[in-house]
Chains A and B, each alone.
Chain A
Amino acid sequence: MAALTADTLEGGFHDPVFQSQAVFRAVMAALAEPARPVPLPPSARPPAPLTAELGAVALTLADPDTPVWLDPALAASDAVRAWLAFHTGAPVTAEPMDAAFALVADPARLPPLSAFAQGTAEYPDRSTTLVIAVERFDTAAGPLFTGPGFETPRRFAAHPERIGFLDQWAANRALFPRGVDIVFVADGLVAGLPRSARLATTE
């Protein structure tokens, strides 16, 4: 672990109880009504390239019980590793298959969704939740999603998007109830794509 610096100690929640509750409710709302960006209250100030939103979700959900996988952009930063270790206590794993959470700062180079834990038929919850920072959401264009949480299908895209993402998502949905869930974060927003969300055009 990197040496403790002021940067490591700073930037956590100043009010952990209420800030983590507010972030949780935003993430819960995002997963309950997928493909619909909802406001994520500003809170954490982690070192780059960990974004404020990635940091806030990590502070809210990760702890010593949840191995976290970092994408290469994050894993390369000692400051990021030290900050996460200090504020969450979550062990970092190099194996996506072992991760409860995957933090992704560079979505264009996201590994295939199938590289992460998919859960089992009997315990589909033993899967990875990917938390992916993107630049923006597009709810005007983009493919139509539907499923639980949709009153009617919604258009949704998260940019930048990994090439072939939609094919991967269709494959992930085909594994249901196994599969991964995605929490996308952008500037001040969070949008969920739980494994239950399916492309309206392919089924």
Chain B
Amino acid sequence: MTDMDDARFPPLSNSLPRGERGPVGGSGAGADAGVELNGALSPLVGESGREGAPGAVLDDQANLRTYSFAYLDEQTKRMIRRAILKGIAIPGYQVPFASREMPMPYGWGTGGVQVTAAVLGPDDVLKVIDQGADDTTNAVAIRGFFQKTAGVATTTRTADATVIQTRHRIPERTLQAHQILVYQVPIPEPLRYLEPRETETRKLHGLEEYGLMHVKLYEDIARHGHIATTYAYPVKVEGRYIMDPSPTPKFDNPKMHRSKALQLFGAGREKRIYAVPPHTDVVSLDFEDHPFRIQTFKEPCALCGAEGVYLDEVILDDRGGRMFVCSDTDHCEERRAEGHRGALSGESR
């Protein structure tokens, strides 16, 4: 069995030039596992004879080689799958796993990519978002990676996806029971900035000793008059583990609570997997006199007029012009397709 722990592959970012591929709309791109690799990703092709390789392809040198479905070898997938099952059985607990080197830098979501690779099957429809958008370099590269290595269908439409890998957002559209949301996590340990030693944070989780976190939030209140944390706002899962929701805006925290979708979290560099099963309590930490509140926006989306969604600020010109638009690009596009209009979208409805 070939171990994937080597650094022989160049980063994916070098292979996939920015903007080379746009987002793929709709579903139905070929779900054929025997997808051919083109020149751009041929460095991803591993040694021949790797266990369970479903496809044989010709690379640039016309050597017959094989690669593993969704890149990871079967033993690695088994190890990740076992960790996922433990994570589901112990909601919010960080399961250690032997993270593999992936052909992309850590900041690109190698933990999420490994989780996605372990769950993905030929019938899945994959959506990848980064800060809510399907068309950023990171999202495009990861989507392209799974198109090449797994041949799965991809989509930008939240409703059509069975697996959604995300960095920094939860889609605005309510997720459904058949969907799996995979989060890319940089720092899985919510206590890390309060207690740098892993042995100590393990003990604190084991003892359910979370006073440190409450002290931190209360210091926020003392200093700012409110809890200043707006991203990666800590949550308690099913009344037991305090969990980092990944660097999503706290606006998204309520979407995690009793979601119908299975939520899986992968941290590649820190080698942790954790999970929130469907219909599980996910409660943002707060105090009776300082209850948790999500961000609110003064005006609706300038393009689609949506209210009650998370907005990004977009600079329009160098004279200070700016507008606020949906961070969830699919949500915004769908609304505009339905005829919704915002203040800056041209003709009004």
Say if the beta carbon of A21 comes within 8 Å of chain B.
Answer: yes
Alpha-carbon gap, A125 to B203, bound state (A) = 14
If A17-B69, A18-B69, A65-B79 touch, does A181 touch B85 (CB 8 Å cutoff)?
Answer: yes
Return the CB mask of B189-230 against A: 1 if under 8 Å, else 0. 000000000000011011100000000000000000000000
A17 x B54 contact (CB < 8 A): yes
* A contact face: mostly helix, strand, loop, or mixed: loop
How many of chain B's residues have a CB under 8 angstroms from any CB in A?
A: 48
A151-183 interface bits toward B, Cβ cutoff 8 Å, 1 = contact, 0 = none: 100000000000000000000000011000100
In whole Å, how far is A183's beta carbon from the nearest beta carbon of chain B? 8
Q: Is B74 an interface residue (CB 8 A)?
A: yes
**B290 touches A (CB below 8 Å):** no
CB distance from B194 to the nearest CB of A (A): 17
**Chain A residues within an 8 Å CB radius of B82:** 61, 66, 100
Contact status of A22 and B121, CB under 8 A, knowing A33-B278, A124-B90: yes
Given A17-B52, A125-B86, is A149 in contact with B78 using a C-beta cutoff of 8 Å?
no
Chain B residues with CB under 8 Å of chain A are 33, 51-54, 68-69, 74-75, 77-79, 81-91, 93, 95-96, 118-122, 202-203, 205-207, 238, 240-241, 258, 260, 262, 276-281
Q: Which residue of A lies closest to B261 (CB)?
A: A32
| Residue interface mask A189-203, B partner, CB < 8 A = 1 | 000001110000000
Distance (whole angstroms) from the CB of A192 to the closest CB of chain B: 8
Contact of A121 among B91, B122, B207, B279 (CB under 8 A): B207
Can you report 25 A-B residue pairs in the complex whose CB atoms are below 8 A from each other? A16-B51, A16-B74, A17-B53, A17-B69, A18-B69, A21-B121, A31-B88, A61-B82, A63-B78, A66-B82, A120-B206, A124-B93, A125-B93, A125-B95, A148-B279, A148-B281, A149-B88, A150-B279, A176-B90, A177-B241, A181-B85, A181-B86, A194-B88, A194-B89, A196-B89
| In the complex with contacts A18-B69, A18-B121, A122-B203, A195-B78 CB distance below 8 A | no
Q: Which residue of B lies closest to A88 (CB)?
A: B78
Complex contact B90–A24 (CB within 8 A):
no
Q: CB-CB < 8 A to B240: which residues of A? A: 176-177
A27 → chain B, closest Cβ, in Å?
7
Inside 8 A of A31's CB, which chain B residues have their CB? 85, 88-89, 277
- Contact, CB under 8 Å: A195 / B205: no
A20 on interface, CB distance cutoff 8 Å:
yes
- Residue ID in chain B nearest A15 by CB atoms: B54
